[in-house]
Amino acid sequence: MAIEFTAFARATEGRGASRRMRRAGKAPGIVYGGVAKPTPIELDHNALFHALRNEAFHASILTMKLDGAATKVLLRDVQMHPFRNEILHVDFQRVDENRKIHVKVPLHFINGENSPAVKVNGAIVSHVTTDVDISCLPKDLPEFIEVDLSELDVGHSFHVSALKLPPGVSVVTHGKVDPVVATAVVPRAQVETDEETAAAAEAAAAAAAAPAEGAAPAAAEKGGDKKEEKKDDKKK
């Protein structure tokens, strides 16, 4: 689904102008890339703030309406206030349909609860990374990549090489051979409980076997007593 937003040309720049803009409910930004020069823009702050809460806004080709023209762009950077829900600045990059782009897309994990690690061993699945850097043409950009954990078992990890990528999409690993995406770990408390249960079972088995082992000498001892009694009778 195409995502559109409206931007307005910004005539003034500088910190003072940006502060006045924010007080007026606007967010300063810039759009760059392509053959056109960088263009300062401003956007409605609340509309942009709500758009940023949509995951797809961060990993989709967006349509920016500016001065009556529509431009394809990617969200490249958002600067937020350290402790207020306030956007300080936003960057967009123009997209060339014929050139590959590098962008991070989110990972959506499924079937972790059905994996042998969880169902059989009571493990906890840890998501080592929640997004991945990919390279593709703009038309091939996925909103997310699905990670099927149904086969994950304890002692094993899910690696980038196991991702099922859409056609035309490749992962950029930045020098790492095969990064881990997810892993399964049995909680320490669970391991200790299992060990205690096994130890208790062994102790119970040993206790049950002890009387049986002691019964033979006792029987032998009784037999010996009877023989001694018979010998005494004969003497008499």
- Looking at residue 202, its pLDDT comes to 61
Residue 158 has pLDDT above 60, yes or no: yes
Query: Cα–Cα distance between 139 and 168 in angstroms, integer?
Result: 9
Q: Are 87 and 27 in contact (CB under 8 A)?
A: yes
- Distances in whole angstroms, Cα of residue 71 to Cα of each of 34, 43, 67, 68, 225: 11, 15, 10, 10, 108
Give the least confident one: 17-26, 57-66, 147-156. Answer: 17-26
Per residue in 95-144, pLDDT tens?
A: 999 999 999 999 999 999 999 999 988 899 999 999 999 999 999 999 99
Tokens of 113: 């609860």
Tokens of 163: 């991702």
- Looking at residue 192, its pLDDT comes to 46
Question: Which tops the pLDDT comparison, 19 or 217?
Answer: 19
- Looking at residue 233, its pLDDT comes to 53
**pTM tops 0.75, yes or no:** no
- Looking at residue 188, its pLDDT comes to 63
φ, ψ for residue 71, nearest 5 deg: -130, 135
Query: Cα–Cα distance between 193 and 198 in angstroms, integer?
Result: 9
Q: What is the 3-state secondary structure (H, E, C) of the chain?
A: CCEEEECEECCCCCHHHHHHHHHCCEEEEEEECCCCCCEEEEEEHHHHHHHHCCHHHHCCCEEEEECCEEEEEEEEEEEECCCCCCEEEEEEEECCCCCCEEEEEEEEEECHHHCHHHHCCCCEEEECCCEEEEEECHHHCCCCEEEECCCCCCCCEEEHHHCCCCCCCEECCCCCCCCEEEEEECCHHHHHHHHHHHHHHHHHHHHHHHHHHHHHHHHHHHHHHHHHHHHHHHHC
Per residue in 7-46, pLDDT tens?
A: 999 877 778 888 888 889 999 999 999 888 999 999 999 9
Mean pLDDT of the chain: 84
Q: Which residues contact 79 (CB under 8 A, 6 or more apart)?
A: 87, 88, 89, 90
Residue 199 has pLDDT above 70, yes or no: no
Query: Cα–Cα distance between 124 and 106 in angstroms, integer?
Result: 21
